[in-house]
Amino acid sequence: MRAILLIIFLLFSSNICFSQSSIPVTKNFSKGRMYFYWGYNRGWFTKSDIHFKGNNYDFTLEDVVAKDRQSKLAADPYLRLNKITIPQYNLRIGYYLTENWDISFGIDHMKYVVKQNQTVKINGYIHNTASNYNADYIDNDIKLTDDFLKFEHTDGLNYVNLEVRHSNTLFDFNKIKISLNKGVGVGFLYPRTNTTLLGQQRHDDFHVAGYGFSAAVGARVAFFNKFFVQSEYKGGYINMPNIETTYSAADKGQQMFFFSQLNIVVGGIINLHKKNK
């Protein structure tokens, strides 16, 4: 939560600072240009209450800890075209509406993995299942062992979103420009959830599970107005009331949490209009 508040503070404070600055600022990329980028992220998630409901059970696990899953930093898979979507990636394409405002579409491919063998509180009931966990629960401790629950969004926690961003040029060295970018976004979650619950068949399928909101702030270094490298910090809120946990329509999961990302991306800029003579 503090990360989200920090991003919002930076968004507003940067606008105030640049509006009051007496230092001349060169215009950023002009209207009529598109950009695209690709890169990778590191993610963090707050604790989450996860609610599971089916024909024979209805229970909530409280303050569940989860983490991301980083691919080993190596040429394989990061530089292999047939494997570049395996790590946690960021893809975005945008269009400049004005000199400083752009709208974009992107996918933030995160990986969310519940820490195995942690002990959490459970409330609710499990009745008439083939597991060893049939009981009524009121603030009981339970260990998330493999035969009870394995739960992850690892292919992945896909945040499909639209963003509006504003940019300010900080420094202009003719062929090299450094700019500050900040914006907000909204989208939906399209995870591939990998779940094994109460000894049932493992579930692993894509589905629309919920929605999210986000904000981002970052710095871009552009070369010749054609290529750029960008680092950004992004945070947001995710609410998934419709998580598929088994192949039965009666079995559902629900959770909500805050997330943050540190993204490193590279991209290109395309001029859609010919320059005026």
> What's the CATH code of the domain at 244?
2.40.160.20
DSSP-based three-state secondary structure for 5: helix
pLDDT of residue 32: 79
- Whether 10 maps to a domain, the answer reads yes
- Whether 24 maps to a domain, the answer reads yes
- Whether 166 maps to a domain, the answer reads yes
Cα of 83 vs its chain's centroid, Å: 20
pLDDT of residue 31: 61
Contact (Cβ atoms closer than 8 angstroms) between residue 204 and residue 193: yes
- Whether 60 maps to a domain, the answer reads no
**pTM of the predicted model as reported, rounded to 2 decimal places:** 0.88
- Whether 127 maps to a domain, the answer reads no
10-residue mean pLDDT profile of the chain (277 residues): values are: 47 42 42 90 98 96 96 86 92 94 97 98 96 97 96 96 96 94 97 94 94 97 95 97 94 97 96 65
DSSP-based three-state secondary structure for 276: coil
- Domain that residue 93 falls in: 2-46+68-115+148-271
- Whether 132 maps to a domain, the answer reads no
- Whether 56 maps to a domain, the answer reads no
| Among candidate residues 209, 216, 189, 232, the one with its CA nearest the CA of residue 42 | 232
pLDDT of residue 149: 96
Residues 36 and 47: their CA atoms lie apart, in Å, by 33
Q: How far apart are the first and last CA of the chain?
A: 50
Q: Enumerate the β-bridge partners of residue 215.
A: 184, 235
- Whether 78 maps to a domain, the answer reads yes
pLDDT of residue 272: 83
Q: DSSP states of 97-159 as a string?
A: SSSSEEEEEEEEEEEEEEPTT-EEEEEEEE-S-SSS--EEEEEEEEE--TTTEEEEEEEEEEE
Number of compact structural domains in the chain: 1
